[in-house]
Chain A
Amino acid sequence: MTIALAIEQLLNGLQLGVMLFLMAAGLTLIFGVMGLINLAHGSLYMVGAFACATIAAWTGSFWLGLVASLAAAAAAGAIIELTVIRRLYDRDHLDQVLATFALILIFSEGTRWIFGSFPLYLDIPPLLQGAVALPGGAEYPLYRLAIIAVGAAVAIGLYLLISKTRLGMRIRAGESDREMIGALGVDIRTLYTIVFALGSALAGFAGAMVGALQSVQVGMGEPVLILAFVVIVIGGIGSIKGALIGAILVGVVDTLGRFLLPQILAILLPPAQAGLMGGALASMLIYIVMAVILAVKPRGLFTAHG
């Protein structure tokens, strides 16, 4: 194992973590402010990816596609908030799970209806093609580095939005006392729609960015959604800081686990068996990490409320 390989894996882990953060930030914000558990968040990720792939194929510009992904996911989010989600805020979690599960069925099958069952492909924009030399002699794709940078920028932007702006102030107030800010004359219904659309846009954006690395297909959001759940559970539901740290932790642990576990087991076991065991264990690793963290801290690392 060389240093270069280790750095490459670490960067891959960071890149996964950053993407998970974009998903988890929206989920945790929506839960923190509205108390809603949204299974359909993965569908908004898919909507973003499909919008980007369609517009990019149509206009030839990845950048326009990226804008389209933000717009389409935010619009889809606002529409479902106004029609469905709004009715779920004062329902119990069971109803929320079911209704958003129903939304997944509708979104997935609807997308398959419009776009067919074949995956779409999205090219990396020419500006970000190519690779960067890493210390140790290896090369690393520029696009993945760009994803990490964008994710970091979004994290900073979100922090500024929430801690420095009037909208952020209202979001924080909404988290701590819903009735009170309503009584103070803030239009809480519009605030909810904005928060939901913001979370959706982040998910759609993540979908578009990842769409250029993988294929764009129905169901692409579901594995990411479940990882994002793990992230916010580890981080503490409602906490953006927790989401960031949880996302990086999950991204790095998952990637390094897949890379290192087979090698570590190879010291103890014959190679073929070590590969199998390592692979199986690595795919379970983040869930084991989550179970351990929750066994110690049942409400996650950073609890938002009390």
Chain B
Amino acid sequence: MTLSRETLINLILIVLLAAVPFVALGIGQPFYITLATRIAILALAAVGLNLVLGLGGLVSFGHAAFFGIGGYVAGILAAHASSGEALMFGLAGSDQMPVIWLVTLIVCGIVGLAIGAVSLRTSGVYFIMITLAFSQMIYYFAVSWPAYGGEDGLSILVRNRFPGVNSMKPISYFLICLGMLIAGLGLFSLIRASRFGAALQAARQNAVRVAAVGISPYPIRLAAFTLSGMITGVAGALYADLNRFASPSMISWHMSGELIVLIVLGGTGRLFGPVAGAMLYVVFEFALGGLTERWQFFLGLILLAVVLFARGGLLGLLAGKARHG
């Protein structure tokens, strides 16, 4: 089997990401482990979004909703586990990550199905704005509902546990997140290669023809939207555990914008686009943030330049055009 240039670059990227924390430990700069963990989590969130945005061509400007819901699921379950109070219907809280992830998947699945069912009736700009509006709705709910911190957010006192691993150790937690990212990437590539993925991409290229060969685009898009929200939700749960904090800012529309930015910086619709994008973004943020307080100003300029002049993102630059348009 010969490796294509893109596969080679993908391998280099993931090895690079995996190596960072060990190098960081070696040179005594454990802070970089947190940075690498952030990259892995943001990349996973963007992998979720890439499913609808990259493969489906649906610009969701509301994926922060799922990211935030994941964060709050982690926060709320942990809060109930530590206080011992029962959650609704007499269910107990939990500080076990697999349980939290499962609950996140269920909650985000239900919310994704509901938001998608309404939003996917529309298209184009309407879709962008409706997904934005739904995430704002959840944002305002989080801000105005005082039971779980309201505007102040919700602290997670002790990072949730993973069976058999000491999740408090930065490097262990990084490996958990990296594992989830790889699982997410695996799922994405499985979906992309499946009949379902083919139909989803075909619906992006020409919805009328897809309908003409007897496949209705709506249920396919709805399934993709729901799945995509579930993946982004799990990333949100990981993010809350990383910062030990779930806050409304995770649901803000800036977050939705950032997720789109990650994908486009890396390369839209490509398997490793989100990984490349998250690496670039976090490194930009860190490097520019160290140089100037006004780093967002320069980030804006760079982003503008990428959109106007460097279409295809980092992977487009390194690996050439994507094989499928």
Which A residues fall within an 8 A CB radius of B? 31, 37, 84, 87, 93-95, 97-99, 101-106, 108-110, 112-113, 222, 226, 229-230, 232-233, 237, 276, 279-280, 283-284, 287-288, 290-291, 294-295, 298-300
Q: Once the chains are docked, how many angstroms separate the CA of A236 from the CA of B301?
A: 32
Q: Which 6 A-B pairs have the closest CB atoms?
A: A105-B300, A287-B137, A109-B297, A106-B300, A102-B303, A283-B140
- A97 and B59 within 8 A (CB): yes
Given A95-B311, A97-B128, A109-B294, 19 more contacts at CB 8 Å? A84-B308, A93-B59, A93-B124, A94-B53, A97-B61, A98-B307, A99-B303, A106-B297, A106-B301, A108-B296, A109-B300, A230-B133, A280-B145, A284-B140, A287-B140, A298-B126, A299-B122, A299-B126, A300-B126
**Residues of B bordering A, CB below 8 Å:** 53, 59, 61, 118, 121-122, 124-126, 128-130, 132-134, 136-137, 140-141, 143-146, 253, 257, 260-261, 264, 268, 294, 296-297, 299-301, 303-304, 307-308, 311
Q: Give chain B nearest CB distance to A9 CB in angstroms.
A: 19
Nearest CB of A to B19, in Å:
31
A99 to chain B, nearest CB (A): 5
Question: Contacts A101-B257, A103-B300 hold; do A298 and B122 have CB atoms under 8 A apart?
Answer: yes
Q: Report chain B residues within 8 Å CB of A98.
A: 260-261, 264, 303, 307
A233 touches B129 (CB 8 A): yes
Please, which residues of chain B bring their CB within 8 A of the CB of A109?
Answer: 294, 296-297, 300
Cβ of B124: which chain A residues have Cβ within 8 Å of it?
93
A172 CB to nearest B CB, Å: 20
Whether the Cβ atoms of B300 and A102 lie closer than 8 Å is: yes
**Min CB–CB distance A290 → chain B (angstroms):** 6
A291 B118 Cβ-Cβ under 8 A = yes
A-B contact pairs, 7 of them (CB 8 A): A31-B125, A98-B303, A102-B300, A230-B129, A237-B125, A287-B133, A287-B140
CB of A99 within 8 A of CB of B140, answer no
In the complex, which residue of chain A has the Cβ closest to the Cβ of B127?
A93
Tell me what chain A mostly uses at the interface: helix, strand, loop, or mixed.
Answer: helix
Let me know if B253 and A102 touch, CB within 8 A. no
**Shortest Cβ distance from residue A232 to the other chain B in the assembled complex, whole angstroms:** 8
CB distance from B301 to the nearest CB of A (A): 6
| Chain A residues within an 8 Å CB radius of B300 | 102-106, 109
B130-A226 in contact (CB<8A): no
Q: Roughly how many angstroms separate A233 CA and B134 CA in the complex, as a whole number?
A: 13
Residues from chain A with a CB closer than 8 A to the CB of B268 are 94
Flag if A113 contacts B294 (CB, 8 Å): yes
A-chain residues with CB within 8 Å of residue B141 when the two chains form the complex: 280, 283-284
Contact A284 B137 (CB under 8 A): yes
Residues of A within 8 A of B299 (CB): 102, 105
**Residues of chain A within 8 A of B261, CB atoms compared:** 98, 101
Chain B residues near A288 (CB-CB < 8 A): 137
Bound-complex Cα distance A279 to B141 (A): 9
Contact A295 B129 (CB under 8 A): no
Chain A minimum-CB-distance residue to B145: A280
Residues on A with C-beta less than 8 A from B301 are 102, 106
Bound CA span A40–B71, Å: 28
User: Roughly how many angstroms separate A295 CA and B130 CA in the complex, as a whole number?
Assistant: 11
Are A105 and B297 neighbours in the complex by a CB distance under 8 Å? yes
| List of A residues within 8 angstroms of B140 by Cβ | 280, 283-284, 287
Residues of A near B257 (CB, < 8 A) are: 97, 101
Instruction: Tell me the bound Cα distance from A23 to B124 in angstroms.
Output: 21
The CA of A294 and the CA of B125, in the complex, are separated in Å by 13
Q: How far is the CB of B259 from chain A (nearest CB, A)?
A: 11
A31's nearest neighbour on chain B, judged by CB, is B125
Nearest CB on B from A151, distance (A): 23
Neighbouring A residues of B308 by C-beta, 8 Å? 84, 87, 99
Closest A residue, CB atoms, query B59: A94
Q: How far is the CB of A273 from chain B (nearest CB, A)?
A: 11
Which residues of chain A come closer than 8 Å to B137, judged between CB atoms? Answer: 284, 287-288
Given the contacts A97-B61, A294-B118, A226 and B132 also touching, CB distance less than 8 Å: yes
User: What are the residues of chain A within 8 A of B297 when measuring CB–CB?
Assistant: 105-106, 109-110, 113
Instruction: Tell me the complex Cα distance, A279–B143, Å.
Output: 10
Complex CA gap A104/B300 in Å reads 8
Q: Inside 8 A of A105's CB, which chain B residues have their CB?
A: 296-297, 299-300, 303
**When chains A and B are docked, how far (Å) is the Cα of A220 from the Cα of B315?**
36
Minimal Cβ-Cβ distance residue in A for B61: A97
Nearest to A290 among chain B residues (CB) is B133
Q: Contacts A31-B125, A102-B307: A233 and B296 contacting too (C-beta < 8 A)?
A: no
CB distance from B111 to the nearest CB of A (A): 13
Contact between chains at B304 and A106 (CB < 8 Å): yes
Which residues of chain A have C-beta atoms less than 8 A from B122's C-beta?
294, 298-299
Chain B residues in 8 Å Cβ range of A84:
304, 308
Distance to closest chain B CB from A250 (angstroms): 11
Most B-side CB within 10 Å, residue of A87, A101, A283? A101
Q: Residues of B contacting A299 with CB < 8 Å?
A: 122, 126
Chain A, residue nearest B124 (CB): A93
A95 vs B300: C-alpha distance when bound (angstroms) = 14
